[in-house]
Amino acid sequence: MSEASRVDALYREVVLEHYRHPRGRAPLAAPDASAVVDNPVCGDQVKVEVCLAGGRIESVSARARGCAIAVASASVLTEMVPGLGREACDALGESLARLVEGGPAGADLDERLAAFERIADLPSRRRCATLPWEALHETWPPPR
pLDDT digits (tens), the chain, 144 positions: 666 676 677 777 888 899 999 999 999 999 999 999 999 888 999 999 999 999 999 999 999 999 999 999 999 999 999 999 999 999 999 999 999 999 987 778 898 998 999 899 888 899 999 999 999 999 988 776
What CATH number does residue 11 fall under? 3.90.1010.10
Query: Does the residue 24 lie in any domain?
Result: yes
Task: Give the domain extent around 117.
Answer: 3-139
List alpha helices for the chain, DSSP H.
Answer: 3-10, 17-20, 68-80, 86-100, 111-114, 126-139
- Number of separate domains in the chain: 1
Query: Does the residue 144 lie in any domain?
Result: no
Query: Does the residue 130 lie in any domain?
Result: yes
